[in-house]
Amino acid sequence: MNFDFSEDQEILRGEARKFLEARCPLALVRGVLEDEGRSHDATLWQGLVDQGWTALTLPEEHGGLGMSRTDLCVLAEELGRVLAPVPFASTVYFLAEAIMLAGSDIQREKLPAIASGECIGCLAIDEGAGEPSRKKVEARVQNGLLSGIKQPVIDGLCATDALVWARDESETPRLFLASLVHEGVRRVAIDSLDPSRGIARLEFSGVPVQPIGGPELLDRLLDGAAVLLAFEQIGGADRALEQAVAFAKERSAFGREIGSYQAIKHKLADAYVHNQIARSNAYYGIWALDADSDELPHAAAAARVSACQAMWYAARESIQTHGGIGFTWEADQHLFYRRALHLNMAIGSPRMWRDRLFAALEMHDGDSN
């Protein structure tokens, strides 16, 4: 089985990297992080739309390009390398994917607006601290109207539409599609470790919603997003490691480059190993996602767990390798550490995904027997 990218996908990677290096320097990420009034960079978002990235996997009949999720993971990795402050994951990995998988004809009419960047999505499943839970759901839908509070919601400050996990009239939790451009929606910004990806508290009061799917759809969305976010994390981990290696070759102490000391070499070698393990699992995950394989649940969980570890470790060791300057606000290393911790909790913690991995493997072993 060949897990390598095709020639066309490598060309796509090269063009994406050139575009992002020109349009998304780390100074832009820092600018969004330091500006309390910005939840994302609107200019960069429009640039991605103009490049056709938001339309990449959408059907051609709905204004999309009809490309594969493997093509999408190439873009995800490049977005991760530059820590892009845009609602790409929330819109493409969740909202667009949910509508393509389970949307009604009416709901699929939103796809052209997603392609054009007019429609920005978010996933609202949490209701406070702790892991996402299907049982701890207070938000309710009565007579087609949603009331309740969801928090924290990544990209909830800039989103136009939300996938909301709420109880229906029979008390069964399911996903609903809600417009956030409604007088019954109140948004409150929440402080977070990575303000370059704005997080909100969403308060709903009599907001019209449409049902879109149940637990099976939520599981499928989380598994798909785990794989694609793994590629974002790998992109960030690789770049954090590259920065650390470059600094270790330049910085001298006691007459030698610090990279020649075993204490530094071993840490950077460990980071490289973590990154390669994560990449291997992510390749397996994107194969399972694109092939719609029964192996997706454990492939996605493995990708998620290893990618969380890889980016966190690489970002931490990049700070340590840079020494005193690495801990300062002026250095860029904290940007990678912030994003690593943000992505670690974006769709549930690594501990939750380890539990999902064990459960998926047990189910797989039981089916084999």
Residues of the chain with CATH 1.10.540.10: 7-115
Backbone phi, then psi, for 167, in 5-degree steps? -85, 140
* Cα–Cα distance measured from residue 87 to residue 65, given in angstroms and rounded to the nearest whole number: 20
The number of angstroms, rounded, from the C-alpha of 352 to the middle of its chain's C-alpha atoms is: 16
DSSP track, 54-100:
TTTTS-GGGT-----HHHHHHHHHHHHHTT--SSHIIIIIIIIHHHH
pLDDT, tens digit only, all 369 positions of the chain: 566 789 999 999 999 999 999 999 999 999 999 998 899 999 999 999 999 999 999 999 999 999 999 999 999 999 999 999 999 999 999 999 999 999 999 999 999 999 999 999 999 999 987 777 777 899 999 999 999 999 999 999 999 999 999 999 999 999 999 999 999 999 999 999 899 999 999 999 999 999 999 999 999 999 999 999 999 999 999 999 999 999 999 887 787 887 777 888 999 999 999 999 999 999 999 999 999 999 999 999 999 999 999 999 999 999 999 988 999 999 999 999 999 999 999 999 999 999 989 888 887 666 655
DSSP track, 125-159:
--BSSSS--SS----EEETTEEEEEEEEEETTTT-
Give me the pLDDT at residue 368, please.
58
Residues of the chain with CATH 2.40.110.10: 121-212
Q: Under CATH, what is the fold of the domain 217-368? A: Butyryl-CoA Dehydrogenase, subunit A; domain 3 (1.20.140)
Give me the pLDDT at residue 225, please.
97
Q: Under CATH, what is the fold of the domain 7-115? A: Butyryl-Coa Dehydrogenase, subunit A; domain 1 (1.10.540)
Q: Name, in order, each residue with C-beta under 8 angstroms of 223's C-beta and a sequence gap of 6 or more.
A: 289, 296, 297, 300, 301
Torsion angle defined by CA atoms of residues 182, 108, 104 and 87, in that order, rounded to the nearest 10 degrees: -60
Give me the pLDDT at residue 364, please.
67
Residues of the chain with CATH 1.20.140.10: 217-368
* Cα–Cα distance measured from residue 256 to residue 180, given in angstroms and rounded to the nearest whole number: 58
The reported pTM is: 0.95
Give me the pLDDT at residue 324, please.
86
Tokens (6 digits) for 357 = 């991995």
Backbone phi, then psi, for 164, in 5-degree steps? -115, 130
Domain 121-212 has CATH 2.40.50.100: no
Using the 8-state DSSP alphabet, how is residue 368 labeled? H
